[in-house]
Amino acid sequence: MTRFPLRCIIQIENGYQYQIMRKAAVKQLSDYLAGQGLRSTNQRDEILKIFVDAGKHVSAEELYTRVKKAHSGIGFATVYRTLKLLAEAGLAEERHFEDGFNRYEYRATDGHHDHLICTKCRTIIEFENERIEQLQQDVARKNLFKVQSHRLEIYGLCAACQGKKK
């Protein structure tokens, strides 16, 4: 029996996960476009796949750099318009962080998460914490407030920018 290091297994599993996410995203985009009377294009599908595979928050410029490596014929305007279309289709969420950079994140159906944002290197760490979620609900309930949505963004320095190892 061949033994794989844990890191290798995680990469294989993540690759499989991204493949499933890409297929679902391409179908969702295709359905949205058809409902809007728009046509599906290979360029849009490729941009969407690269966006999903990024696995992190990306600016239009960062996504364009990734797209250009794989498809040199796709221009910045196409990437930008496609990102806006993905947001309209519910596949991307445009995020306006305090650092002034607009980024997009893939709207997977894996639930709500919050963000730790490094003010020095701009790293964004996503996290989930049930205690924080419950506390927010408790505060809302005590104030007779019905929560419709919320965002939690915590700004500071990541471990690398503090000169520490993770």
Question: Exposed, middle or buried by CB within 10 Å (0-12, 13-18, 19+), for 57?
Answer: buried
| Backbone phi and psi for residue 156, each to the nearest 5 degrees, phi listed first | 180, -155
Q: Where are the beta strands (DSSP E) in the chain?
A: 92-96, 102-106, 114-118, 124-127, 153-156
Report the 10 Å Cβ neighbour count for 27: 10
- Strand 102-106 and strand 124-127: pairing? unpaired
Distances (CA, A) of 46 to 65, 76, 83, 166: 13, 14, 12, 34
38 against 97, higher pLDDT: 38
- pLDDT tens profile 6-65: 222 233 344 444 455 667 778 888 888 889 999 889 999 999 989 988 877 888 999 999
pLDDT at residue number 79? 95
- pLDDT tens profile 149-163: 777 888 889 888 998
pLDDT band for 78, please (50, 70, 90 cuts): very high
pLDDT band for 119, please (50, 70, 90 cuts): confident
| Backbone phi and psi for residue 106, each to the nearest 5 degrees, phi listed first | -65, 130
- Strand 92-96 and strand 102-106: pairing? antiparallel
pLDDT band for 72, please (50, 70, 90 cuts): very high
Using CA atoms of 113, 119, 121, 122 in order, give the dihedral in degrees to the nearest 10. Answer: 40
pLDDT band for 165, please (50, 70, 90 cuts): low
Q: Tell me the whole-structure pTM to 2 decimals.
A: 0.61
Angle between helices 60-70 and 42-54 in degrees, nearest 10: 110
| Three-state secondary structure call for residue 121 | coil
Contact 26, 48 (CB under 8 A): yes
Lowest mean pLDDT among 65-74, 121-130, 150-159: 121-130
Contact 43, 82 (CB under 8 A): yes
